[in-house]
Amino acid sequence: MLIYVDGKLLTKEEAKVSVFDHGYLYGDGIFEGIRVYEGNVFRLKEHIDRLYESAHTICLEIPMSHKEMTQTTLDTVAATNLRDAYIRLVVSRGMGDLGIDPAKCPKPTVVIIVGSIALYPEEFYETGISLVTSSIPRIPCQCLDPRVKSLNYLNNIMAKIEARRAGVPEALMLNQEGHVAECTADNIFMVKDGELKTPDLLQGALGGITRAAVLEIARDAGIPTEETVLAKHDLYTADECFLTGTAAEVMPVIDIDGRTIGNGKPGKMTNDLLDRFRELRVRDGIKVNYEAAATVER
């Protein structure tokens, strides 16, 4: 495994950041999780766009241009020679002191990790998964807009702990008004009377890249879609429900808080959207040039 750290490709053992890095001390930074399918980086432009939007909102100046970040990501993938992989792109505020003042961090830290990721078991796509509603509400927009993909994930982690203690792989998170926001690492969709619905982004959801892709696929297929306000009752009484995410892709949900969704099996629209997404994921990407030498220093 080779990892990009501030201009150099290092082994897993060599790759290190300072304990004074504010990403480590305070979760002060942003990240993206990106998939590589058969040598194609899925929707890399959209991921890089979101990275820079998150950076802008938290007043973090990334020390690379959009074009440079894109090429460096592709070069790092090429250096690993992995055709199917997961990319974790992290930009932190950088090394500072023990105070929280970001002005004490003169240079952000850029890390690009390319490796494998623990994915959902394939049988989950055939049987569906169960969810529980977390007691932990999603961070409100007044505190930090959830559309910023920040390194501070403790809110989601606490909800994930509740899911694990309940014996299920994911937890539903509500906003402070009690409306459906998202899950700990995925967006959520429901189907009712042939219409596809998902919470709008002001309800506390991250603007997922897979979420956007599924909405596009559905609209292209002539499926009515709506980004709206949803409550637990809407999910409980849905015909179908599923999650979307970089790791999950399109994951069917068959039970929430002990309430069976639909007939208790992955739905027809869910399966159709999963098939269409898996066709799209290789076509809609930037091809990695594995033959060209990486431009970053080793």
CATH code of the domain covering residue 97? 3.30.470.10
Query: Does the pLDDT value for residue 298 go beyond 90?
Result: no
Active site residue 149: yes
CATH number, domain of 243, equals 3.20.10.10
In-domain check, residue 297: no
Output the pTM of the full model. Answer: 0.94
Confidence of residue 295 (pLDDT cuts 50, 70, 90): low
| Domain finish residue from 79, 100, 117 | 117
Place of tokens 């030498």: 293
Find the angle CA(207)-CA(229)-CA(266) to the nearest 5 degrees.
75
In-domain check, residue 293: no
**How many structural domains does the chain have?**
2
In the chain, DSSP finds a helix count (H) and a strand count (E) of 8, 16
Say if residue 194 is in the same domain as residue 49: no
Say if residue 56 is in the same domain as residue 180: no
> What's residue 117's pLDDT?
79
Report how far residue 294's alpha carbon sits from residue 298's, in angstroms, rounded to the nearest whole number. 9
| Domain finish residue from 81, 100, 117 | 117
Query: Does the pLDDT value for residue 294 go beyond 70?
Result: no
In-domain check, residue 143: yes
CB 126 within 8 A of CB 155: no
Give me the domain span that covers residue 68. 2-117
Say if residue 231 is in the same domain as residue 278: yes
Instruction: Please list, residue by residue across 73-100, b when 16 or more beta carbons sit within 10 angstroms of its beta carbon and e when fewer do.
Output: bbbbbbbbebeebbbebbbbbbbbeeee
Say if residue 152 is in the same domain as residue 243: yes
Say if residue 206 is in the same domain as residue 87: no
| Domain finish residue from 102, 117, 132 | 117
Strands of 73-211, DSSP E: 85-92, 109-115, 129-133, 170-174, 180-183, 187-192, 195-199
In-domain check, residue 295: no
CB 67 within 8 A of CB 159: no
Say if residue 49 is in the same domain as residue 80: yes
In-domain check, residue 182: yes
Say if residue 130 is in the same domain as residue 275: yes
Q: Give tens-digit pLDDT for 7-63.
A: 999 999 999 999 999 999 999 999 999 999 999 999 999 999 999 999 999 999 999
Say if residue 180 is in the same domain as residue 250: yes
In-domain check, residue 290: no
Say if residue 84 is in the same domain as residue 232: no
Say if residue 142 is in the same domain as residue 203: yes
Task: Give the active site residue among 8, 45, 104, 149.
Answer: 149
Say if residue 239 is in the same domain as residue 135: yes
Q: Give tens-digit pLDDT for 95-128.
A: 999 999 999 999 999 999 999 877 889 999 999 9
In-domain check, residue 288: no
Say if residue 91 is in the same domain as residue 149: no
In-domain check, residue 291: no
